[in-house]
Amino acid sequence: MNSKTEGQKRALIVRAGRLGDTIWATTVIEPIRAFLGDDTRFDIIVARGMGKLFEHDPRIDTIFEIEHRSIPLLCCPTKLSVLWKSLTHPYDIAISLETGSHFSSLMRCVRAKQKIYETNLLHSESRPEGQNMVHLTRHVLAQGIPAHFCQKAAPSLCPPRNITSTDLIGNNRDYLCLHPGNSLLARGKPALRSWPESYWRELVELVSQHASNLQIVLIGEKSERALSAAVAARVPGVINLAGQTTLQQLMVVLAHARVLVTTDTGPAHVAAALATPVISVFGPSEAPGTGPFAAINGWAVAVTKDVGCNPCVNTERAKTCTDNKCMQAVTPSDIMKLIDEALLRHPVAPVFEL
């Protein structure tokens, strides 16, 4: 915890969700700093394990991790700690980006000059067609600060400075990252969001042929290491970091990559918030609403193809689907063309429909 200097502004952000949700919440940081001052310090409430994203972030003062956000205020040590801190160091702005009411009691009691919470704008059913969760976050923030501070707000992360990508990868070549897995695969569940393994193998071969100056680095969780090994089997020299990095080390790897190719995954949001070009293959998920959103000066695209039944997440179609043809419709050659665009950072729409 950093000490508060005289006159320094303070803000509280509440978003105890998954990786993508947590990163979307960072959209409010830079607008609040622009409004209150660059020396504004932030406290943040996040889900257990998400605090690693911010341990090295100079903008963040205190990270409060919470195990179960549904626990009532008076029975939750984490919520009580935030409340107690606000009594001794009141916040200038406190904003909850939760879609439910789990933090409503805390937000009512916390000491802050201005509070933003219990808004319906963040519910998916309230999202206008074509708008990303980042757009909704901007609208929520604009309830508390002038709208012109929010108009171009985007997610942002700060990578650790005490870790180098060269140490993790073993050389100083420019590199491209591929993430063949996803969170559902890692948990051993049916993964309609997966791109075929054969497509990943083909893409590795295409990159090795058409961008031979780039080192290929595979990322993923420990349970995805065998998949990554199979993907890389036919091309020598591919580096398989699946299961070999902590979240902070992964941030460094992504921050210095020339491009990340993935599907609808958490690392897509991490890389996009680090201003690394991201190409994310989407099928069952709604690309405009939940695709990666590029940081300021970043580059990110969700690639999708309409096959007549997608998007289908949270529908009866998804429960009975056994053939994710929406993912199969996006080919390795499609992605290779976009890799060329990403390397040159040519202008691109946030959603690329084939």
Per-residue pLDDT of the chain (354 residues; tens, 9 = 90+): 444 566 799 999 999 999 999 999 999 999 999 999 999 999 999 999 999 999 999 999 999 999 999 999 999 999 999 999 999 999 999 999 998 899 999 999 999 999 999 776 666 555 666 788 899 999 999 999 999 999 999 999 999 999 999 999 999 999 999 999 986 655 555 578 999 999 999 999 999 999 999 999 999 999 999 999 999 999 999 999 999 999 999 999 999 999 999 999 999 999 999 999 999 999 999 999 899 999 999 999 999 999 999 999 888 888 888 889 999 999 999 999 999 999 999 998 999 999
pLDDT for res 100: 87
Exposure string of 180-199, with b = 16+ CB inside 10 Å and e = fewer, is bbbbbbbeeeebbbbbeeeb
CATH of region 10-149: 3.40.50.2000
pLDDT for res 131: 82
pLDDT for res 317: 86
Cα separation, 31 vs 312, in Å, equals: 34
Cα separation, 223 vs 39, in Å, equals: 41
Contacts of 181 (CB under 8 A, 6+ apart): 194, 220, 221, 223, 224, 227, 228, 242, 265
CATH topology agreement for domains 10-149 and 165-353: yes
pLDDT for res 321: 87
Exposure string of 25-35, with b = 16+ CB inside 10 Å and e = fewer, is bbbbbbbbbbb
Domain 165-353 has CATH 3.40.50.2000: yes
Cα separation, 129 vs 141, in Å, equals: 20
Q: What is the value of pTM for the model shown?
A: 0.93
- Spans of all domains in the chain: 10-149, 165-353
pLDDT for res 1: 47
